[in-house]
Structure 1
Amino acid sequence: MTRSIRQMIKDGEVRRADAIKVRLEDLHEEPGFNLRTEGDALESSINALAQFIADGGVIPALEIRPRDAGGVWVVDGHRRRRALLKLDQAGQLPRLPSKEDPQTLEFWVDVRMFEGSDADRVARIISSQENEKLSPLELAEGYKRLKAFGWTVDQIAKKVGKTRQHVEQVVTVGNANSDVQNLVAAGHVSATTAAQVVREHGDGAGKVLGAELEKAQASGKKKVTAGTMKGPTIPKPRLEAVHAASRNLIASLGAVDEDSRSLTLPTALVLELRKALDGALPR
């Protein structure tokens, strides 16, 4: 027979926790705190989340902290708050009469208190993301904020559950020129590849990546990758054939008079080297 939660609480297997709720209109978004970039992509994700809620989907409690001017600031749950506001504006939230004033209809949102410093709050929105991953540039903004708080790369990596290399790559892109960032934002190049090119070419990385994108698109590719930048590769057997023919030709010369202005090369070995080169070099 299935045991009830009440019985489990009585037996000490489950503890009762105080539920915290806040009126929807008392949830506030702190200006400049959210890492997400405003635009069509964000709006589309909010619309999808609103539809999920309208269809009966359950969302996690929002994390909040007190707001001196009244209400609370949202630490984690900005998209959830906006989705609820969208549903409320469409009259799709079940508002109920207030206990204090039955004429006032209210909708209360499940929340929980956030504990931590200002830097911890930034780390929280980086590590949460609630099924809608931050873009590389949004992550870069978060990592740069944490560095401004005095956090080391190792501290950031440990806090957000990423590798040191990942954090360094994303920060490199976050500090790159706008032409590089625009290519990353458009999905034409990954943050990893962009970071590598920035480290190699500095301020000229944007031009390099732009040229590589044209080359990639000309060959039917949609974006720049490490593979498209390498160009044609030479099979190992063909390279070995070139090396062998070169070694044979050099060995046939014996001692070379450095003052001599000409050398006599064995015809057969020269033809062998030419054949190996013809098979190795791209046409």
Structure 2
Amino acid sequence: MSEKKTNKSRGLGRGLSALMADVGPEPSQAGAAAPRRADQMIPIEKIVANPDQPRRRFSQDDLDDLTNSIRQKGVIQPLIVRPREPDQYEIVAGERRWRAAQQAQLHELPVIVRYFDDTEVLEVAIIENIQRADLNAVEEAAGYRQLMEKFGHTQEKLSEALGKSRSHIANLMRLLSLPEDVLDLLREGHLSAGHARALITSENPSDLAKAVLKGGLSVRATEQLVKKQATEGAPKLAPKATAPEKDADTKALEGDLSANLRMKVSLSHKPGQEAGEMTIRYSSLDDLDTLCRLLSQA
């Protein structure tokens, strides 16, 4: 179909509003411009969620508010979907409206059908949620990781496609190296992304996260706590054994490697030599399996 070919060649950096507006008249066979509806009504049971949706948590209070609005005014903004077999449509954008419509017991929903591939679906889903500030930091970082792992995107390509700086993407992905209990605190809003970034370099981020919550510490106070813990926890060694401070490039490389592997990576160069050591710390056997698989592909 001509529509499918046009969609697949379109860049995705324009955002959700441009995608929603990209529905115009379609020429008829006679060559005249015949207007067509931007959306169509589809039975709700034929619409299914996207299993790769970056947003994983939906506030029940927000859903209840949206459900009440839908009962009164209906679904004003159509969902974006793509055809799936057999006789189904997968949500590209609008899962929260779909969930609320189910609670409101609607039988059909307005949709715009688009012929997106898997990469475009994930990109549009991330764009929609980011533009509406619906993703927490962990969900946003996980979405970026999906694009990199499943579709071979680089941080530079993500930066161009999503309109985010490379440093923003890299800093968010570094959060995924934190333990799951700390990520849960971040997902639930008990910790901010700034607090979490400060905990990345800590040897025991879980314990420090509890101390941050108990003391109601600011991001700056959290950074100072991490530095203090690192100083007090360091073994008392002779001055000659003190490791030199790492340069900014080494620290940045450690951060990028940690974000890509989702494991803590440490680089150590021997003074005056080309040789050095790279230490990768894994927290589970699944992490070890992932690391072994990556190394075997090298």
TM-score of the superposed pair, with normalisation by structure 1: 0.59
Q: How far apart, in 2, do the equivalents of 1:114 and 1:150 lie?
A: 23
Identify which of structures 1 and 2 has the higher relative contact order when contacts are C-alpha pairs closer than 8 Å and 6+ apart. Answer: 2
Q: Does 1:21 align with 2:80?
A: no
Query: Taking structure 1 as reference, are residues 184 and 72 closer, same or farther at Cα in structure 2, changes over 3 Å only?
Result: same
* Cα distance per residue 1:11-58 (max 9 Å; x no partner): xxx97233433122211124x3223334xx532222111112223265
Deviation of 1:210 after TM superposition, in Å, equals: 2.9
Query: Taking structure 1 as reference, are residues 178 and 57 closer, same or farther at Cα in structure 2, changes over 3 Å only?
Result: same
Query: Taking structure 1 as reference, are residues 166 and 181 closer, same or farther at Cα in structure 2, changes over 3 Å only?
Result: same
Paired position in structure 1 for 2:69? 52
Deviation of 1:132 after TM superposition, in Å, equals: 5.9
1:191 aligned residue (193, 208, 229): 193
Length, aligned pairs only:
191
What letter corresponds to residue 140 of structure 1 in structure 2?
A
- Tell me, what secondary structure is at the counterpart of 1:55? helix
- Tell me, what secondary structure is at the counterpart of 2:199? helix
Determine if contact 1:183/1:189 at 8 Å carries over to the other structure.
yes
Q: Does 1:226 align with 2:228?
A: no
Structure 1: which 5+ runs fail to align? 1-8, 94-106, 232-283
Q: How far apart, in 2, do the equivalents of 1:27 and 1:116 lie?
A: 16
Q: How far apart, in 2, do the equivalents of 1:158 and 1:46 lie?
A: 32
Determine if contact 1:75/1:121 at 8 Å carries over to the other structure.
yes
* Cα distance per residue 1:159-216 (max 9 Å; x no partner): 2222222211221112321132133123232223312431x23x533333333333xx
RMSD over equivalenced CA pairs, Å: 2.7
1:85 aligned residue (102, 116, 123): 102
Determine if contact 2:75/2:110 at 8 Å carries over to the other structure.
no
Paired position in structure 1 for 2:260? none
Q: Which has the higher strand share?
A: 2
What letter corresponds to residue 225 of structure 1 in structure 2?
V
Paired position in structure 2 for 1:112? 112
Paired position in structure 2 for 1:157? 159
**Correspondences of 1:1-283 after superposition (within 5 Å):** 16-19=35-38, 20-30=40-50, 32-38=51-57, 41-56=58-73, 58-88=75-105, 93=106, 107-129=107-129, 131=132, 133-148=134-149, 149-198=151-200, 200-201=201-202, 203-214=203-214, 217=215, 221=216, 224-227=218-221, 229-230=223-224
Larger Rg: 1
Structure 2: which 5+ runs fail to align? 1-24, 26-32, 226-298
Determine if contact 1:170/1:192 at 8 Å carries over to the other structure.
no
TM-score of the superposed pair, with normalisation by structure 2: 0.56
